[in-house]
Amino acid sequence: MTALGPVIVAHSDALSFPSIARRLATTGHTARLPWLLDSVRGTLDEDAGVGSQRRSSLRAKTLLDLFLQRADALAVQEDTLDVLDRDIRSLRSAQAALAEASPRAQRWRIATRIRDEDFLSALRAARDAS
């Protein structure tokens, strides 16, 4: 999941976030894309890159902000919980994962142990590899 961050930043102009959101909604995973994009957007404040990577990061920030403004209108119901991690196998472990999750995961009600730092590490690793 974190490996999608650098791809989103590099190809944000070519991605149709509303279209992806509609497809995810048909599977019952409405909040996954806003959570993912919110997490990626947060990492761009920490590390915008340099040169052409900086330009890509600035453009991605703009596109992510525009999508997230619309996504904010999607009310994630209090009783809705999307379990992302495969090792979460009970309601109790899902609730525990959500309680320990990042603020962004909690906002979108995604039960996962993936942290914002994981997205930042993936973004930096991709930048360093290029």
Q: Is 111 helix (H, G, I), strand (E, B) or coil?
A: strand
Helix count and strand count (H, E) for the chain = 7, 2
What does the pLDDT profile of the chain (130 residues) look like in tens digits?
Answer: 999 999 999 999 999 999 999 998 899 888 999 999 999 999 998 876 655 577 888 999 999 999 999 887 665 666 789 999 999 999 999 999 999 999 999 999 999 999 999 999 999 898 888 7
The verdict on pTM exceeding 0.85 is yes
Do the Cβ atoms of 90 and 10 come closer than 8 Å? no
Q: How far apart, in whole angstroms, are the C-alpha atoms of residue 86 and residue 99?
A: 17
Positive or negative: CA dihedral 107, 33, 120, 72: negative
Do the Cβ atoms of 100 and 113 come closer than 8 Å? yes
